[in-house]
Amino acid sequence: MEETISMSYGSGGKKTSHLIEDIIIPQFNNEVLCELADGALLNVSGRIGFSTDSFVIYPYFFPGGDIGKLSVCGTVNDVIMSGCVPKYLSLALIIEEGFSIDELRRIVNSIAETSKYAGVQIVTGDTKVVDKGHGGGIYINTSGIGEKIEGLNLSKERINKGDKVIITGNIGDHGVSVLAVRENLLDDDLIESDCAPLIELLPIVNKYKEHIKIMRDPTRGGVATTLNEFIENSELCIELEEDLLPIDSKVMAACDILGLDPLYSANEGKALLIVNNSVAEELVDDLKSIEMFKDASIIGEVNMNVPGKVVMKNFLGATKILYKLTSNILPRIC
């Protein structure tokens, strides 16, 4: 077999069949996909959540994951953040001519493992090959469908004064990990991306569903940008306490060297939750009892100090406004 992808793998003919039937399909052993029609027929009940994301990250392999794992995590997490239990994914690959078939196999294997862990089925797909110089090795789009969790109503409008801001773990790991690899920093002491499906968050969400106002995974733009989206154009202010922010010491050190701010660095396995004050501490305790959320913390609260803004208070009591990210700190991070 040839060792790289040639244009004829994208022709829709025999080579495409080989690529799909021999390399991709065997990894995803489910009846719906095996039908190989242009669309999948699914049974769903009630309201559904629907989300899409393209992944253009470079390098394809990074500490803690690869573009395949990331492409499942990103969409699974978006479906969860919209208040749904993820069920089905589509998988669309745009492969650049010359891409290694061995690397493709590794990526597809990673997609299979991650989707199995997350309890989602890949049910429909598409593969395109583009000519050399017109791609990024491999770009992946996944779209996801989930079933709405009854009784959970997420909306910015439900955020109130007094609510607490919770993060499910350390801040900024993914963005710093990818940058460190690209820049060949910290060779002996790798920072792992936090890339993970937030599937273990579902029981907690279910338990506290009446008290959760909104959830979002702080990916591109980081925690600061995501929190701004919650309260911009409202009378509310989100006030973070710098001392409460959980940041890994290696991430902090790398940020110091690079002049980055972890609050603007992407995460790929964390959630921000705005919850009613009355359950905040109990919810965090429940989170901490789960290994992947052991660094969960209340990091701030909603008040009306600076309407429409996110501010951070340091240990001296001084506050600064955290604006949305404006310029690009890192291209192709997800």
The answer to whether the bond into 59 is cis (omega within 30° of 0) is yes
* Cα separation, 56 vs 144, whole angstroms: 18
Spatial contact of 326 and 267, defined as CB atoms under 8 Å apart: no
Is 115 or 250 the residue whose CB approaches its own copies more closely? 115
* Cα separation, 331 vs 334, whole angstroms: 8
Residue 233 beta carbon to its own copies: minimum distance, rounded to whole angstroms: 12
Residue 30 beta carbon to its own copies: minimum distance, rounded to whole angstroms: 13
Is 83 or 262 the residue whose CB approaches its own copies more closely? 83
Number of Cβ within 10 Å of residue 317's Cβ equals 6
* Cα separation, 7 vs 23, whole angstroms: 16
* Cα separation, 277 vs 164, whole angstroms: 5
Residue 131 beta carbon to its own copies: minimum distance, rounded to whole angstroms: 6
Q: What is the DSSP letter of 124?
A: E
Is 168 or 250 the residue whose CB approaches its own copies more closely? 168
Q: Which residues contact 103 (CB under 8 A, 6 or more apart)?
A: 60, 61, 137, 138
Is 164 or 216 the residue whose CB approaches its own copies more closely? 216
Residue 192's identity, in one-letter code, is E
Residue 140 beta carbon to its own copies: minimum distance, rounded to whole angstroms: 10
Is 176 or 250 the residue whose CB approaches its own copies more closely? 176
Is 41 or 318 the residue whose CB approaches its own copies more closely? 41
| R_g of the chain computed on alpha carbons | 21
What is the phi-psi region of residue 36: left when phi exceeds 0, alpha when psi lies from -120 to 50, beta otherwise? left
Residue 216 beta carbon to its own copies: minimum distance, rounded to whole angstroms: 7
CA contacts within 13 A on the Cβ side of 263: 19
* Cα separation, 167 vs 116, whole angstroms: 25
Spatial contact of 68 and 134, defined as CB atoms under 8 Å apart: no
Residue 162 beta carbon to its own copies: minimum distance, rounded to whole angstroms: 23
Residue 272 beta carbon to its own copies: minimum distance, rounded to whole angstroms: 12
Q: Which residues contact 48 (CB under 8 A, 6 or more apart)?
A: 84, 145, 146, 147, 148
Identify the CA nearest to 302 among candidates 241, 256, 258: 241
Residue 74 beta carbon to its own copies: minimum distance, rounded to whole angstroms: 9
Number of Cβ within 10 Å of residue 321's Cβ equals 12
Is 74 or 250 the residue whose CB approaches its own copies more closely? 74
Is 250 or 271 the residue whose CB approaches its own copies more closely? 271
Is 12 or 119 the residue whose CB approaches its own copies more closely? 12
Residue 16 beta carbon to its own copies: minimum distance, rounded to whole angstroms: 7
